[in-house]
Amino acid sequence: MNKANTPRLGILACLAGGLMAAHCGGKPRPASPAGTGGVQVMGGTQDTGGSISTGGVQDTASTGGVQAVGGTESTGGVQVAGGAPSPGGVQASGGALSTAGTAGASVATGTPDAAAGGVGGSRDADSPRTEVAAPAQCPAPPAGAPADAITALNAENAARVGMGIPCASLVLTLCTSAQNHCTYYTTNQGSATCEAASSHSEIAGCPQFTGADPGARIKAAGYTGMGWAECMAFMDDPAGAVKTFIDSVYHRTPVLSPWYRDMGYGGGTGCDTIDFGPGATTAKTVTAYYPYDGQIDVPLSFNGATEGPTPPVPSTGWPSGYPITLFGQGITVSAHQIVVDGTTTPLAHIWLDGDSSLGSTAKVLYTEAPLSANTPYRVTIDGTSSTGSVHFDWSFTTGAAPTKPGGGRRG
Domain locations in the chain? 66-87+285-397
Q: Using alpha carbons only, how large is the chain's radius of gyration in Å?
A: 20
Is 91 or 368 the better-scoring residue by pLDDT? 368
Burial of 267 (0-12, 13-18, 19+ CB in 10 A): buried
pLDDT for 129: 73
Give the H or E element holding residue 134. none
pLDDT in tens, 344-361: 999 999 999 999 888 899
Give residue 161's pLDDT. 98
167-190 pLDDT, tens digit each:
999 999 999 999 999 999 999 999
Of residues 344 and 50, the one with the higher pLDDT is 344
**pLDDT tens track for 256-279:** 999 999 999 999 999 999 999 999
Nearest to 245 by CA among 261, 262, 257: 257
Pairing of strands 169-170, 262-268: parallel
> In this predicted structure, what is the pLDDT of residue 67?
54
Helices (H), 25-171: 147-163
Q: How far apart are CA 370 and CA 130, in angstroms?
A: 25
Residue-by-residue DSSP string for 289-313: EESPTT--SB--EE-GGGSBSPPPP
Tell me the pLDDT band of 66, cut-offs 50, 70 and 90: low
Q: Which CATH number fits domain 66-87+285-397: 2.102.10.10, 2.60.40.3780, 2.60.40.1840, 1.10.3720.10?
A: 2.60.40.3780
CA 263, CA 112: separation in Å to the nearest integer? 13
d(CA 222, CA 216): 10
User: How many Cα atoms are found within 13 Å in the side-chain-facing hemisphere of 372?
Assistant: 8
CA distance 211 to 21: 10
Q: What single DSSP character describes residue 268?
A: E
* Residue pair 88/286 in contact by the 8 Å Cβ criterion: yes
* Mean pLDDT estimate for the chain: 76
- The answer to whether the beta carbons of residues 227 and 241 sit under 8 Å apart is no
Q: Which pLDDT does position 68 carry in this prediction?
A: 58
Mean pLDDT to the nearest integer, 301-326 = 94
List phi, psi (to 5°) of 395.
-135, 160
> What's the pLDDT at 356?
87
Of the pLDDT bands very low, low, confident and very high (cuts 50, 70, 90), residue 194 is very high
Higher pLDDT, 204 or 402: 204
The more confidently predicted of residues 173 and 89 is 173
The whole-number pLDDT of residue 404 equals: 67
Write out the DSSP string of 383-405. Answer: EEETTEEEEEEEEEEB-PPPSS-
Q: What is the C-alpha separation between 134 and 137, in angstroms, rounded? A: 9
The pLDDT of residue 126: 54
Q: Which of 175, 189, 299, 186 is nearest to 238 (CA)?
A: 175
pLDDT of residue 130: 73
Q: How many CA atoms lie within 13 A of 308 on its CB side?
A: 35
Q: Per mean pLDDT, which range of 61-70, 144-153, 175-184 is the poorest?
A: 61-70
Residues 6 or more apart whose Cβ sits within 8 Å of residue 203: 188, 193, 194, 196, 209, 212
Identify the pLDDT of residue 399: 98
User: Which residues sit opposite 393 in a β-bridge?
Assistant: 380
Q: What is the reported pLDDT for 201?
A: 96
Residue 278 or 41, more confident: 278
Whether 139 has a pLDDT exceeding 60, the answer reads: yes
**Average pLDDT of span 51-80:** 37
Share of the chain above pLDDT 70, in %: 67
CA neighbor of 326 nearest in space, from 258, 229, 279: 258
pLDDT score of 132: 86
Read off the pTM: 0.76
The better pLDDT of the pair 306, 89 is held by 306
Q: What is the DSSP string of 211-247?
A: -SSHHHHHHHTT---S--EEEEESSS-HHHHHHHHHT
Identify the helix (H) or strand (E) that includes residue 263: strand 262-268
Higher pLDDT, 381 or 34: 381
Angle at alpha carbon of residue 96, lines to 94 and 100, rounded to 5°: 115
Residue type, 8: R
Question: How do residues 203-259 score in pLDDT, each as one tens digit?
Answer: 999 999 999 999 999 999 999 999 999 999 999 999 999 999 999 999 999 999 999
Q: How does residue 403 score in pLDDT terms, banded at 50, 70 and 90? A: confident
Could you tell me which residues come within 8 angstroms of residue 127 by beta carbon, excluding any fewer than 6 positions away? none
C-alpha to C-alpha distance for 166 and 371, rounded to whole angstroms: 29
